[in-house]
Chain A
């Protein structure tokens, strides 16, 4: 036990003696939180629209002004030529083309179905989906109002309109910062803990100290524990630091229990640290360890549900995501922080992580050998 404590002490001395380490631990999360949260937002503002109004009627103008009046759209171009609008889209000057055909109002009054055409630049599928959804809401709104305008008052009762009432729960203002911060916090602790632990034993191999350590009577489990505990502590501090920053900078809600967050984090970190250790036992240089860690980290992050929702991934990818510890932890973080979920609600991802942690640590300990 004394041995483990001394190794932990030694690791801390080494970490804080490394001049790059303190800024990495405290400045990196600050910068990443600020940049990522602002940059990785799905909120659509300033959608540039080209309008082709071939009807030039009151109704068509009313529809256009509805778009114009919404905070999301900017009419970038008004034209009568389809080609011109398409050219603008090709150049990337507009994101959406709204085309109102001739006779639009007339058909509306005759209570016939009337059509408008929307062309959306779908290079970025996620954005296109959002533009589509926003546009639909505006058109729906327009429908409801014209219905009231055009139809005789006594007939209103007979119109069976579907009244869609949308409520956004847990994040009523659709604030993407609230949604992103928990995920980015997970990203942060993952990067710090995976890289630090992945580099560590490899570094001892590289500078040759492992050679002398292996000859000593130190036990495998003591050595591994002495290596993992410091980074576990550092990553927990990192998470606490990140949560405080999130609260101060973005005023993110933490509805659920803070202890539940740290309990889940402690299990999640065991998975990642075990994984990092595993990487460092199979590699021989810090460069190799870095590349291998990055390979897995990129996959884990892109498939974590941080930027794209897991539900919209293909089935095989969703199956694969059962192996992704980040996906579990991001889910837990969002549920606890934003929904105030209790342990009972998160028990499934929590136990998954626990099993994962046991596997990853025991695999790492087994792989680490003192005898070659």
Chain B
């Protein structure tokens, strides 16, 4: 068992009558990339704000690097780096001024920890005299990450860092995170994108303030209880409704150009489904058995809630 970086026990947070976090418990090991995967409004930001000591939980206990988020908030603030979901640097300051500002308020300077951000910052360094507001989305994100790293944090909280960033920059960003992990930083990241889940060491699927499951991405996929088929025809919209009416069908989800259809048991006879669809006027029918991905698992867990604390 690796050393523990973050420990959360029974944390509850309510906003008036809305429950944002319902009795959350989990641990994050040192040096892992831990992902919170869930839709908007699942409670990810609330959790991050509690862990970064800017929001008080109603009850429960949370420790970051062995420090209590309420009692030792001053110490925690020196240890953590936080990148809020919204770009929150000064648009009217240049790239370099932003970085200097964050280094200074941590009582540090750029030179001291330059090695940490070198990989990332070198990509935007030629724009260092440009104002942050004039950077592209991907570059803004790199700057924000540099600012969150400049004081050499032990734990990095990234709240939806890739939202609103193009696909190429997203992949680049994840590569950067994996490199950062090698320097021993614990990274807690949240994302609404299911395809990013596979890039984390462990993930927690979160929905309505509940953690539905915590596991390695492979573990979550291998625990998927159903048989999954990818069905394709020439009319994807009608296909979805027709599949739902097929006897014995579990969940039906649109997935790109095809539909994912779940069955509790192996489909005994594919031709029966094929004939059913033909009868309903579909053509170019293709049915294939497929491996589930995180999104399938997430949807399955949403349908049967309360599987895991």
Residues of A within 8 A of B (CB): 2-3, 6-7, 10, 13-14, 17-18, 207-218, 370-372
Contacts and interface: CB of A to CB of B under 8 A. Distances in A.
Contacts of A210: 88
Contacts of A207: 88, 90-91
B92 A211 contact: no
Contacts of B97: 10, 13
Nearest to B52: A215
A215 B88 contact: no
B77 A208 contact: no
Contact of A10 (B73, B88, B101, B148): B101
Contacts of A217: 74, 77-78, 105-107
B87 interface: yes
Contact of B105 (A13, A17, A211, A218): A218
A211 B55 contact: no
A6 B104 CA distance: 7
Determine which residue in A2, A209, A371 has the highest number of CB atoms from chain B within 10 A of its CB, and name it: A209
A212 B101 contact: no
Contacts of A216: 77, 102, 105-106
Contact of A3 (B74, B84, B107): B107
B104 A211 contact: no
23 contacts: A3-B104, A3-B105, A3-B107, A6-B104, A7-B105, A10-B93, A10-B97, A10-B101, A13-B97, A14-B90, A14-B92, A17-B92, A18-B92, A207-B91, A208-B86, A212-B102, A215-B53, A216-B102, A217-B74, A370-B54, A371-B54, A371-B55, A372-B49
B89 interface: yes
B203 interface: no
A77 B55 CA distance: 76
Given A216-B105, A217-B74, A209 B90 contact: yes
A346 B175 CA distance: 68
A26 B265 CA distance: 79
A208 B87 contact: yes
B88 A208 contact: yes
A189 B20 CA distance: 46
Determine which residue in A7, A212, A216 has the highest number of CB atoms from chain B within 10 A of its CB, and name it: A212
B56 interface: yes
B82 interface: yes
Determine which residue in B73, B80, B90, B102 has the highest number of CB atoms from chain A within 10 A of its CB, and name it: B90
A215 B104 contact: no
